[in-house]
Amino acid sequence: MRALALKPLLLALPLLASCGSMKSVDPSQYASMNCTELNVALGELSTGVTSTALSRANISNARIPFWLPGGQKAVSVLKDRRTADIERLQAQEAAIEASRKQRCPREL
């Protein structure tokens, strides 16, 4: 019986462990890239934003039984994490776009 009470906690620990690992965007990493590399990086980030948004939508549409202890909280934590990932990716996109505007005026 005691093992059943610990199971939701053990399942939630990996979800909460990486919340503090958000990295800030460093625009200097894009300084050495040429225009083609910036375009490729921007495309990859756009794909990442799309897949993360789809993942967040799938989590939102998941049907969690009302009787499952902590089920709604887990969904909320996962949605918040995906939202933070999207915001981080969008900040990286903004840094790349700023770098592109400075060095690649003809390609815009």
pLDDT digits (tens, 9 = 90+) for 13-39: 344 334 444 455 666 778 788 889 999
What would the two tokens of residue 98 be?
A: 């700023």
Residues 31 and 21: their CA atoms lie apart, in Å, by 24
Count the alpha carbons within 13 Å of 42 in the hemisphere toward its beta carbon.
18
Residue spans per domain, the chain: 28-107
- The model's pTM: 0.69
In tens, the pLDDT along 42-90 reads 999 999 999 999 999 999 898 888 888 888 899 999 999 999 999 999 9
